Structure 1
Amino acid sequence: MSKLDNFVSLKVAAEKKIHGDDVSKVTSFAVAPHLLEIEEGFNARPLNPDHVAEMSLAMRNGATFPPLEVRVDDGHILIVDGHHRHAAALQAISEGFEIKALDCRHFRGNDADRVAHMLNSASGLALTPLQLGIQYRKLIGFGWTEPQIANRRGKSVQHVKDMIQLAEANSDVHQAVNAGEISGTAALKMVKQHGSRAGAVIRESVEQAKAEGKTKVKPKELPGRPHAKVSDKQIIDWLTKHASINAGSGDQAFDTRCYEMDFLIPKTVEGTTDLRTLIASAIIQSTTT
């Protein structure tokens, strides 16, 4: 062993490059909690009071947490990652526990990098599908493509498209999701099937669930997927027996004729363009009424 190998601390190893770049120094700063500020509208995760309380208790019991990521803008120290840790420290202080400083690292990157960093942060609560979609839309606004977002997140491009579609749904869909009346995944299915009517369909299902003493609509209770319960043979038999087909004028040049089919469908699926869903819904309605 050489004298250089006989180092006494990681600080010495990093500063003297004893192992080259294999041991490096990451600078952190001790910042008083009251100096840290929240950037309005940046954090995708609304503070969870229960999570804050758990972290505050852990701090008072001596637990350690990763440094917060911060940036400095015009003399203000803004939190990029670590909002729950900061809130937990403030709560502990308000209850008489002394916390003079929190470990912070200076975040390097632009506005898009900050959003991408927040999405990939492992220290925060998991984002909901709706929260993800809103942040993906921000990245699109910064000039990112869907494949770039998918690559950064380690997700499929379809995942990114789906989350953005949910984020672009009408406000009544967002209200139901944020109120905990339906999951983001189930809401996305309704948006894909009913388009702009998704909110109304969800509202009807929520009201029905509440009438039954429930607080949330389960995916299996949502309308719009009756075709899974109806076989092809049932559809053919039902059409043969019940459908009224009217001949209309067609394209005389090709000696063709157009046909129109009349059948009743429930209002919950009138917004869909999927023919099988429409027919299956009509079958189920006719057999249950």
Structure 2
Amino acid sequence: MPSLGQLYNDKDAGLTTRKTYNVPLDKIYAEEGYNVRELNRAHVEEFRDAFIAGEYIPPLAVEVTERGVKVIDGHHRYHGALAAIEMGHDIVRLECKDFVGSEADKIAFMVTSSQGLALTPLERGAAYHRLQNQGWSHSEIAAKVKRSESDILQHLQLHECTPYIKKLVRDGSMNYAIAIGISREHGVYADREASRLMKKAEAAGKKKITKSIANPQFNAGKARKFLELISSCAEDSGEALTIEVPPAMQAEIISILREFRHETV
């Protein structure tokens, strides 16, 4: 069967090459905290099993440093190989290819790479923050990672949230849109508000802060009824507004008020 190498030798075929290299595993290293993705143990185990089964594993993107061969993209594959070795399987070398580009190119590549897990909102925010620290504008980051400028701004705001709120997002107790909204509205008191809402959710038998808990919407029909009752009791002289509630209406008005306070506090 013809190979790509044979086809490459045909100058009219238009093929170009980008070499990969089989690098000894003990020469490869992953820098702590460099990967924009947090290491996912289940994903590592998937690659471990793939190595053990002899399946095809895409090459790692790397750069050569004074310390050795640094992983730019492929951290889960690298740790999967280490996990396979721990189980007694011999993995001597990993296929690698040179990464060519600036530090910003490396970060953008980790963000847009299709080989790894999709970034979580927190990971995306941290990656955008790293690019911002390198002097990139929101529009430049958006173009680099192929996302909208509003997406960049939103995730940067998430990155600025407190550690407590980030933990709630990481644990799945709050989505990132609600987290950003709480931080914007409550500022330095954001943690206190998030804690209050978490207790409110738990009291309602829920494990996460939902939109209905964070931003409760009172029943529109009852709100309209309340306004109708108040309107029928109001007298506007042009200079002052006077509201006198007849005893026959008081019970209904108080009932609606109590329900409103219960649902929105």
TM (normalized to structure 1)? 0.73
Structure 1 residue aligned with 2:211: 220
- Matches of 1:152 and 1:169, distance apart in 2: 24
* Other structure's SS at 1:226 match: coil
Give the alignment partner of residue 124 of structure 1, picking from 116, 125, 137: 116
Q: Does 1:19 pair with 2:19?
A: no
Cα 1:204–1:14 change in 2 (3 A) is same
The one-letter amino acid of 1:43's match is N
* Percentage of identical aligned residues: 30
Cα 1:288–1:150 change in 2 (3 A) is closer
Shift of 1:176: 2.1
8 A Cα contact 1:177 1:187, kept in partner: yes
1:160-193 Cα distance to aligned partner (Å, 9 max, x none): 1111111112222123223333232332232344
Structure 2 residue aligned with 1:284: 260
Q: Does 1:57 pair with 2:49?
A: yes
- Matches of 1:138 and 1:242, distance apart in 2: 60
Structure 1 residue aligned with 2:182: 190
Range with greater deviation from structure 2 (231-240 or 82-91)? 231-240
The one-letter amino acid of 2:260's match is I
Cα 1:237–1:17 change in 2 (3 A) is farther
Cα 1:76–1:138 change in 2 (3 A) is same
Q: Does 1:205 pair with 2:197?
A: yes
- Matches of 2:91 and 2:233, distance apart in 1: 75
* Other structure's SS at 1:144 match: coil
8 A Cα contact 2:128 2:141, kept in partner: yes
Alignment size in residue pairs: 243
Structure 2 residue aligned with 1:258: none
Shift of 1:76: 1.8
Structure 2 residue aligned with 1:29: 21
Shift of 1:92: 0.7
* Other structure's SS at 2:110 match: helix
Alignment of 1:45-194 (within 5 A): 45-194=37-186
Higher helix share: 2
TM (normalized to structure 2)? 0.78
8 A Cα contact 1:226 1:284, kept in partner: no
8 A Cα contact 1:129 1:185, kept in partner: no
Shift of 1:17: 2.7
Shift of 1:77: 1.0
Runs of 5+ unmatched residues, structure 2: 235-256
* Other structure's SS at 2:12 match: coil
